[in-house]
Structure 1
């Protein structure tokens, strides 16, 4: 028989912990996460950029500078709340034109249509010319003007959007003068 005695734990019959030792192992100290440090560093960098942007907006909020080709800078002051702007911004318009000689044929006078991809209108040719305007809509895909001769004549047509103009020409017979400007991907018209 083995003469070793094991201290008994009350009620369990197993070995008893030596006096002064806790009944369980203490938890190891928490490790500092590198991720928390990196996260706070990134947040600080983003905060710095936001702070710089706010300071730049406050510093440059009172005036706008325009540079001309000759190297001179012109400063344009914004009106304060108490002042009214001297001129209201002009609404953009689209201009449609047809001009030339187009005698009425067997089917009547010159047949003119103009408008955009969502708005088509009829026009009347008087005294060798036609001109109409429509409000500019930034969502339009294209603006067009079309004029068909009725047996003879020589005509030109144009459509102008935001300073860009397309022209067309037709001569003789039942030919069609057509001019169309299309909206580009970047908001330019061609």
Structure 2
């Protein structure tokens, strides 16, 4: 038998060694906070209603901008029937036909009076920066057409008088035209259209 005194029985509780200090109640954990279900549902409903209102406003604004009705609610007619609408249609048809005739083409013209001089008749050159040609002036005019090259930097026509005369010249590319004029002596009529960054001609 051991002479050591027996250990006192341990009390359940808190503290060092599982012992509860005297005079203090045991520590109680705080209960979890309850979430307010009503607030969450209310905010969710408010958000949905707000979104619906915004959509209705956007639809009304877009629909109102493209409305074709007058203040009485009756639809507006597109154009009054009669001679004015027929004339507009005819003008559009003529413009389309004119554009189609020169679409994808370069047209060069020289016209006027140009008597032959000591060096011969009127000296004409036409074409692009990579394809220049010689033209012949006959019966007071010259005209030539080339297929448009999309890589060309410019199209040009020039005509030099041989001592006297009065001439005009023009170059037309995709419906755009530039003109020139020369009179007397050895002056040169020149017209040129250059390609620009937008794919057009100026």
Unaligned runs of 5+ in 2: 1-76, 80-99
Provide the aligned C-alpha RMSD in A: 1.8
More strand by share: 1
Q: For 1:11-61, what per-residue CA distance to the aligned partner results, in whole angstroms no more than 9, with x for missing partners?
A: xxxxxxxxxxxxxxxxxxxxxxxxxxxxxxxxxxxxxxxxxxxxxxxxxxx
TM (normalized to structure 2)?
A: 0.50
Q: For 1:130-181, what per-residue CA distance to the aligned partner results, in whole angstroms no more than 9, with x for missing partners?
A: 0000000111100000000000000000000000000000000000000000
1:118 aligns with 2:135: no
Secondary structure of 2:190's counterpart equals strand
Unaligned runs of 5+ in 1: 1-69, 73-88
1:187 aligns with 2:199: yes
2:28 alignment counterpart: none
More helix by share: 2
1:130 alignment counterpart: 142
Q: How many equivalent pairs are there?
A: 105
Alignment of 1:18-97 (within 5 A): 92-97=104-109
Larger radius of gyration: 2
1:41 alignment counterpart: none
Which among 162, 173, 193 is matched to residue 161 of structure 1? 173
Moved over 6 A (4+): none
Q: 2 CA distance for matches of 1:102 and 1:179?
A: 17
TM (normalized to structure 1)?
A: 0.53
